[in-house]
Structure 1
């Protein structure tokens, strides 16, 4: 071979050897340093356990009523009043109403007042009392065995018991001794203006009733 060719071949071999050495040097294994430990973390605190939801008490089961039972209307406390509605109403008779009911409620339960009935002397806003009688359109008929006696007034109708100041008509009040149509109307007007009599003593406040007349009437009337 010629010297020039040998020189070129030698140069190639040197270059190749240099690349091989460089590749070997860069691929050698190296020691890796472990990073220093800053601190050891303690055990993590346990998360709080959420409280268990307690079942809310449901509404108490309603007590079943006996089939076919009819209950009277009840007021707070369960009290009722029993009244006798008579006269010119569609369904007269004894009716049960909640305590605190008024005359208008009794008339409604009795089917209402018949057409053409005069109700000027009837205070519909008055509060009912237990055991009273509501007479519509006129005085209640006396019992068959009732005779004339003390308490018979100018109207000639015998009285069998105290007259209710809260339910009596003008005609019924007229039967009281010393009470004429004018004074009877004053009693009804007072009753309408003040929502009824709460006691017999209120009769003193009616126009035309003095001490002497009140003394004659106090045992013959009731609220």
Structure 2
């Protein structure tokens, strides 16, 4: 055996060198692969961190109070969100009674804060009430009537001019007063407006409200 190895030592040495070279090459390739993987993973993590996180801002709807009266199952004051419609609030009030006159109600109207939703009975005469007014049901004679009061804290100039003794200049003065001094705290504050004295106020006091 020793003689054979001696005679073929050159071939043995070459074979061993080739084997070592192969092992060395394999180990280097393995290290390179591991290094590549280690480099890729942190890079992917970094890229994920670099991606801006987009968060949708969820805005809570503004809550308002609405007074529901008339021919509904559960009349009362209800808390609802800005933008809902009359039909939504009526459902919360238990729906309409059998005596309700649906033909006189705009169910698609958007509700507003401090709004009065009045559902009339069948055969009840109802006047058209513009935005910015409050409806107060009252018993009159043999039937049921309603008196529309203009909310001087919400009505615009056009609506204010529907009041007796209030023309364009006084209507403008009322809206200007609200903007500079804030809302009226009592209906008597209307006499702070230039041109509105006791006589004019007497004509207005039963037709206006601040709520």
Structure with the larger strand share = 2
TM-score, normalised to structure 1, is: 0.34
Larger Rg over CA atoms = 1
Q: Which structure's residues are more often helix, by fraction?
A: 2
